[in-house]
């Protein structure tokens, strides 16, 4: 809401500077978005013309400028502006002139005395930003003219951010009223000359009094539309409106002044003699003033006559009844419409106006007649004409509820100790009716404060007007209980810490993706949460996978010269389960290029392979039982068909790891064709995770193991997993630990075969093994490997 300082002063005496007033607003909780000072705050500055420019004897950028002051007088001053030129008419401030709070005195500039200065626009206070040179005036302005007369008197324009609970502050009178309570100063309405009406008005029939609790109006006949008076034009311009003509301008002026939206109809475009306030019929067509055509439903509230609709109530007038330059008779509407009704219609049809913005927040039902009188007065003064009698349909007089409370309750909410006298004083100033009984107090708000319904609302008012700095920091109180973090949160944190330790960098991405990416990653749009009002194409769905965004991050970094990227993200992913949204804590990582980049120590880095990403996943899952990594029978479309494993938790697939499909990478615009990746849903781990669990230590072997190397040659197609199973499953009378140390294929083994080498460690818990025991165990294993896998000792 734009507030003009001079307009405020119509209602209340204020002697603050604009900056001081801004501080008062802040104190009240009204944010000042901007403060723009207007007009001339200077004296003794006159128009002069530059007739000669000489160089300053001691400077290469300063000039000695001679000016014609008119009446045969000249003056020489020092000037450093880059844009100075002979012939310009400029504002000249001579010694004794006042610029803001500064009075000009002679100044010695590099040895030359200057008895005045040519001013820039910011030196005159006309702009807030620094001007680049002197202000050059129109050459037609006569010499000697007082520059003040060109810019009008000083003023200030505040742009206030009015919160949606305070529609009463959407007018100058409303803001003055608020300041009046704060400063304990009287606030007066403009002296309105109430004109007695002559002759009957149009009749008004309100068919829905819930949507329109009050409708006031009158006709003014015999007007001659004209230009508005200067003051109205100036003030409306300051509000950001283009003045049109008096009939329209006055309704706007009264709205900015008193907060009451008004509408003027051309009486002669109204059929019959009754204004009807009604709901639209289904599919009723209506054309707005701005020529937009609407098809309405039964919720829209209309103003109409016997034949047609003439206005979308409280929002905008119709094209068929608007004011024209030749309008002679008008009907002036000053009504109160129900806030949700207006909000619903305004939002549904995307039509908003200064009027609808006030009604949807809640106008003042007690203001309609005052505004009608004010508008009548201003209109008749500008356009002549005769007002009719007033019609005022107001079946149930509105009253705010009476709030009963005790001063102790107010102080209890705030944690303050504001004295009762002070509270009485504040509530007395605010209330329509206020009584302070011995036990309870009773407060009733005036009609313009519908937001004061509970003692909590009154507590806020008490704090605002007493000052929020009255609220102390309370003394300590203890409330101790223990609730663990949600498991998913702890799991995500655990994953993040582990992945960082492995060299991965954490990313955060926006949760949206498009149908193309969705399909490329094998997801069915039908099972994905779609955003109805997506802000951009490609951002239509909530992502069911974190991988597409991580690929974008690789692509971004490749474009910016970072080819080695190890990235991860852990957050929620989304899907639909039987139509209902499901959110799953997920972690995903991608690895591209070498790891880590070490320009001096390892210029080529270390090239990670599949087993690195497998190690990362194993590390994430370390400590969890019931977790398996199994080669995928059928890899998802975005993964390499042969380099992909399922992460299986408690028998169910919870994720994948492996190489991304080169086509996936190409589609994502990557320069590489090898990216290692994993993605894992954390939900299955939640059941297995216990933040309170300490891991019990196992006893360390007290006796040294007997070590043997085992090298076997077997078919290339036999997997490590198969060999491992044999080693693990073979029953031995001693304990066995084994480490794989080599897998070899090549000239030293037959074609189609490979050699696999282990270090075996045999041990017993309570003694050192005899050679024979070790030998027997070794031979048992060799026998089993031969029997189960056809392995030969190498």
Partner 1 sequence: MTIQEFKTVCSTLEQEYIAKISAAADLNALEELRVAALGRKGALTELLKNLKDFSIEDKKVAGPLGNALKAALTAALDDKTTALSAAQLNEELNRVQIDLTLPARPTAQGKRHPLSIAQKRMTDILSKLGFTWAEGPWVEDEKHNFDMLNIPLHHPARDAQDTFFAQTGSPLSMVLRTHTSNVQSRFMEKHQPPIRIMAPGRVFRNDSLDATHSPVFHQIEGLYIDKNVSMADLKRDLTAFMKGLLGDKTEIRFRPSFFPFTEPSAEVDVKCVFCAGKGCNVCKGTGWIEMLGSGVVHPNVLKNCGIDPEKYSGYAFGMGVERLAMMMMNIKDIRTFYENDLRVLNQF
Write down how long the chain is.
794
- x/- track of binding to partner 1 for residues 67-106 (CB under 8 A): ----------------------------------------
The smaller minimum CB distance to partner 1, of residues 100 and 412, is found at 412
The smaller minimum CB distance to partner 1, of residues 297 and 511, is found at 511
**Binding-site member from 98, 422, 572, 708 for partner 1 (CB under 8 A):** 572
**Binding-site member from 111, 472, 669, 733 for partner 1 (CB under 8 A):** 472
The smaller minimum CB distance to partner 1, of residues 353 and 774, is found at 353
Q: Where do runs of H (alpha helix) occur along 363-406?
A: 368-383
Residue of 571, 570, 566 lying closest to 553 (CA atoms): 566
**Binding-site member from 191, 210, 408, 480 for partner 1 (CB under 8 A):** 480
The smaller minimum CB distance to partner 1, of residues 253 and 678, is found at 678
Query: Which of the residues 20 through 49 are near partner 1 (CB under 8 A)?
Result: 26-29
The smaller minimum CB distance to partner 1, of residues 87 and 561, is found at 561
Shortest reach from residue 462's CB to partner 1, in Å: 9
The smaller minimum CB distance to partner 1, of residues 580 and 694, is found at 580
DSSP string for residues in 449-503:
-TT--SHHHHHHHHHHHH-GGGPPPPPP-------PPPHHHHHHHHHHHHHHHTT
Distances from the Cα of 651 to the Cα of 492, 612, 626, 700, 777, angstroms: 22, 24, 8, 32, 33
State the Cα angle at 285 between 282 and 286, rounded to 5°: 125
Q: Which residues contact 327 (CB under 8 A, 6 or more apart)?
A: 223, 225, 247, 266, 268
The SS3 call for residue 345 is helix
The smaller minimum CB distance to partner 1, of residues 194 and 457, is found at 457
The SS3 call for residue 526 is helix
Shortest reach from residue 561's CB to partner 1, in Å: 8
Residue of 714, 765, 783 lying closest to 744 (CA atoms): 714
**Binding-site member from 500, 702, 707, 743 for partner 1 (CB under 8 A):** 500
Shortest reach from residue 104's CB to partner 1, in Å: 27
Is residue 689 part of the contact set for partner 1 (CB under 8 A)? no
Cβ neighbours, 10 Å, residue 220: 26
C-alpha span between 462 and 414 (Å, rounded) = 9
The SS3 call for residue 106 is coil
Tokens 């216990």 — which residue? 690
**Binding-site member from 163, 628, 690, 779 for partner 1 (CB under 8 A):** 163
Window of 61-69, 128-136, 304-312, 574-582 that interacts with partner 1 by CB under 8 A: 574-582
Q: Which residues contact 68 (CB under 8 A, 6 or more apart)?
A: 48, 49, 51, 74, 143
The smaller minimum CB distance to partner 1, of residues 75 and 470, is found at 470
Query: Which of the residues 438 through 457 are near partner 1 (CB under 8 A)?
Result: 454, 456-457
Shortest reach from residue 175's CB to partner 1, in Å: 15
- The count of residues interacting with partner 1 (CB under 8 A) is 96
What are the structure tokens assigned to 397, written together?
């007089």
Are the CB atoms for 254 and 378 separated by under 8 Å?
yes
Shortest reach from residue 757's CB to partner 1, in Å: 28
State the Cα angle at 211 between 208 and 213, rounded to 5°: 85
Tokens 């009844």 — which residue? 321
The smaller minimum CB distance to partner 1, of residues 82 and 561, is found at 561
The smaller minimum CB distance to partner 1, of residues 229 and 503, is found at 503
Query: Which of the residues 752 through 771 are near partner 1 (CB under 8 A)?
Result: none
Q: Edge to edge, what strands does the sheet with 441-444 contain?
A: 402-405, 441-444, 433-436
Shortest reach from residue 794's CB to partner 1, in Å: 36
What are the structure tokens assigned to 454, written together?
């509970």
Cβ neighbours, 10 Å, residue 231: 11
115 phi/psi in degrees, rounded to 5: -100, 40
Is residue 510 part of the contact set for partner 1 (CB under 8 A)? yes
Query: Which of the residues 166 through 195 are near partner 1 (CB under 8 A)?
Result: 166
The SS3 call for residue 563 is coil
Shortest reach from residue 534's CB to partner 1, in Å: 8
3-state secondary structure 217-285: EEEEECCCCCCCCHHHHHHHHHCCCCCCCHHHHHHHHHHHHHCCCCEEEEHHHCCCCEEEEEECCCCEE
The smaller minimum CB distance to partner 1, of residues 197 and 514, is found at 514
The smaller minimum CB distance to partner 1, of residues 500 and 707, is found at 500
- x/- track of binding to partner 1 for residues 521-560 (CB under 8 A): --------xxxxxxx---x--x----------x--xx--x
The smaller minimum CB distance to partner 1, of residues 70 and 180, is found at 180
Omega before 596 within 30 of 0, i.e. cis: yes
Give the CB-side neighbour count of residue 770, counting CA atoms within 13 A. Answer: 4
Window of 151-159, 180-188, 571-579, 780-788 that interacts with partner 1 by CB under 8 A: 571-579
Shortest reach from residue 380's CB to partner 1, in Å: 35
Distance of CA 253 to the CA centre of its chain: 32
Are the CB atoms for 736 and 777 separated by under 8 Å?
yes
Shortest reach from residue 91's CB to partner 1, in Å: 29
Are the CB atoms for 126 and 81 separated by under 8 Å?
no
Shortest reach from residue 649's CB to partner 1, in Å: 21
Shortest reach from residue 513's CB to partner 1, in Å: 12
Is residue 482 part of the contact set for partner 1 (CB under 8 A)? yes
Query: Which of the residues 658 through 677 are near partner 1 (CB under 8 A)?
Result: none
The smaller minimum CB distance to partner 1, of residues 578 and 772, is found at 578
Is residue 340 part of the contact set for partner 1 (CB under 8 A)? yes
Are the CB atoms for 499 and 589 separated by under 8 Å?
yes
Is residue 574 part of the contact set for partner 1 (CB under 8 A)? yes
Residue of 150, 168, 152 lying closest to 160 (CA atoms): 168
The smaller minimum CB distance to partner 1, of residues 370 and 528, is found at 528
Shortest reach from residue 665's CB to partner 1, in Å: 17
The smaller minimum CB distance to partner 1, of residues 595 and 639, is found at 595
Tokens 């109180």 — which residue? 477
Tokens 């197609």 — which residue? 717
State the Cα angle at 68 between 64 and 71, rounded to 5°: 150
| 578 φψ region: left (φ > 0), alpha (ψ -120 to 50), beta (else) | left
Would you tell me the crossing angle of helices 407-414 and 455-466 to the nearest 10 degrees?
70
Query: Which of the residues 357 through 376 are near partner 1 (CB under 8 A)?
Result: 357, 360-361
Query: Which of the residues 579 through 638 are near partner 1 (CB under 8 A)?
Result: 579-581, 583, 595-596, 598, 600-601
Q: Which residues contact 483 (CB under 8 A, 6 or more apart)?
A: none
The smaller minimum CB distance to partner 1, of residues 165 and 730, is found at 165
C-alpha span between 631 and 686 (Å, rounded) = 24
Query: Which of the residues 265 through 324 are near partner 1 (CB under 8 A)?
Result: none
Helix (H) or strand (E) holding 611: helix 610-620
Shortest reach from residue 314's CB to partner 1, in Å: 13
**Binding-site member from 242, 476, 537, 695 for partner 1 (CB under 8 A):** 476
Is residue 128 part of the contact set for partner 1 (CB under 8 A)? no
Window of 107-115, 336-344, 370-378, 669-677 that interacts with partner 1 by CB under 8 A: 336-344
Query: Which of the residues 774 through 793 are near partner 1 (CB under 8 A)?
Result: none
Query: Which of the residues 409 through 428 are near partner 1 (CB under 8 A)?
Result: 412-416
Shortest reach from residue 454's CB to partner 1, in Å: 6
Shortest reach from residue 426's CB to partner 1, in Å: 13
**Binding-site member from 509, 672, 711, 759 for partner 1 (CB under 8 A):** 509
């Amino acid at each position: 809401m734009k507030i003009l300082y001079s307009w405020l002063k119509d209602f209340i005496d204020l002697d603050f500077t604009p900056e001081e007033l801004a501080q008062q607003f802040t104190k009240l909780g009204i944010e000042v978005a901007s403060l723009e000072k207007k007009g001339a705050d200077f004296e003794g500055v006159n128009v002069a013309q530059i007739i000669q420019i000489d160089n300053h004897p001691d400077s290469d950028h300063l000039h000695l400028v001679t000016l014609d002051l008119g009446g045969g007088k000249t003056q020489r001053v020092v000037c450093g502006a880059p844009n100075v030129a002979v012939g310009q008419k400029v504002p000249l401030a001579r010694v004794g002139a006042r610029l803001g709070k500064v009075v000009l005195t002679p100044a010695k500039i590099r040895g030359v005395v200057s008895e005045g200065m040519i001013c820039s626009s910011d030196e005159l206070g006309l702009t807030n930003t620094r001007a680049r040179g002197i202000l050059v005036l129109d050459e037609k302005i006569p010499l000697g003219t007082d520059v003040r007369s060109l810019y009008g008197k000083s003023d200030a324009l505040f742009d206030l951010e009015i919160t949606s609970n305070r529609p009463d502050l959407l007018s100058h009178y409303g803001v003055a009223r608020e300041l009046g309570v704060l400063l304990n100063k009287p606030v007066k309405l403009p002296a309105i000359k109430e004109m007695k009406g002559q002759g009957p008005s149009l009749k008004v029939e309100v068919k829905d009094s819930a949507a329109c609790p009050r409708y006031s109006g009158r006709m003014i006949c015999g007007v001659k539309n004209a230009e508005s008076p200067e003051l109205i034009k100036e003030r409306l311009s300051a509000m950001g409106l283009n003045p049109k003509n008096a009939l329209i301008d006055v309704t706007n002026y009264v709205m900015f002044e008193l907060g009451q939206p008004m509408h003027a109809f051309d009486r002669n475009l109204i059929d019959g003699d009754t204004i009807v306030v009604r709901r639209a019929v289904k599919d009723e067509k209506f054309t707005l003033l701005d020529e937009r055509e609407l098809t309405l439903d039964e919720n829209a509230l209309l103003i109409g006559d016997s034949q047609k609709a003439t206005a979308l109530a409280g929002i905008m007038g119709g094209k068929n009844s608007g004011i024209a330059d030749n309008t002679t008779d008008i009907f002036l509407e000053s009504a109160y419409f129900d806030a949700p009704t207006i909000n619903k219609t305004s939002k549904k049809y995307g039509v908003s106006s200064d009027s609808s913005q006030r009604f949807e927040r809640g106008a003042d039902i007690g203001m309609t007649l005052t505004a009608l009188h004010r508008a009548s007065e201003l209109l008749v003064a500008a356009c002549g004409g005769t007002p009719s009698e007033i019609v005022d349909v107001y079946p149930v007089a509105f009253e705010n509820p009476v709030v009963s409370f005790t001063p102790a309750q107010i102080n209890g909410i705030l944690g303050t100790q504001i004295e009762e006298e002070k509270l009485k004083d504040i509530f007395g100033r605010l209330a329509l009716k206020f009584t302070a009984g011995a036990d309870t107090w009773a407060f009733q708000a005036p009609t313009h404060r519908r937001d004061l319904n509970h003692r909590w609302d009154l507590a806020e008012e008490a704090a605002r007007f007493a000052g929020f700095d009255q609220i102390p920091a309370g003394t300590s109180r203890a409330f101790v209980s223990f609730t663990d973090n949600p498991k998913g949160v702890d799991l995500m944190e655990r994953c993040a810490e582990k992945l960082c330790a492995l060299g991965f960098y954490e990313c955060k991405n926006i949760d949206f993706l498009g149908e193309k990416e969705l399909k490329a990653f094998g997801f069915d749009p039908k099972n994905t949460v779609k955003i109805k009002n997506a802000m951009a194409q490609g951002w239509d769905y909530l992502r069911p996978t974190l991988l597409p965004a991580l690929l974008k991050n690789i692509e971004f970094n490749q474009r910016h010269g970072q080819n080695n990227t190890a990235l991860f993200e852990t957050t929620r992913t989304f899907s639909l389960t039987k139509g209902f949204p499901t959110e799953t804590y997920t972690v995903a990582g991608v690895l591209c290029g070498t790891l880590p980049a070490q320009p001096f120590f390892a210029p080529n880095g270390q090239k990670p392979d599949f087993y690195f990403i497998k190690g990362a996943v194993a590390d994430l899952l370390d400590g969890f039982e019931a977790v398996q990594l199994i080669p995928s029978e059928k890899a998802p479309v975005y993964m390499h068909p042969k380099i992909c494993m399922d992460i299986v938790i408690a028998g169910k697939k919870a994720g994948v790891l492996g190489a991304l499909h080169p086509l996936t990478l190409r589609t994502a615009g990557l320069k590489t064709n090898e990216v290692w990746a994993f993605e894992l849903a954390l939900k299955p781990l939640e059941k297995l995770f216990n933040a309170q669990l300490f891991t019990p230590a196992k006893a360390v072997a007290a006796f040294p193991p007997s070590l043997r190397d085992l090298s076997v040659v077997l078919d290339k197609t036999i997997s490590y997993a198969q060999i491992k199973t044999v080693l693990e499953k073979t029953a031995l009378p001693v304990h066995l630990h084994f480490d794989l140390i080599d897998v070899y294929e090549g000239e030293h083994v037959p074609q189609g075969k490979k050699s696999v080498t282990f270090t075996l460690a045999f041990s017993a818990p309570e003694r050192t093994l005899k050679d024979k025991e070790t030998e027997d165990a070794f031979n048992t294993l060799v026998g089993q490997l031969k029997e189960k896998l056809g392995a030969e000792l190498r």
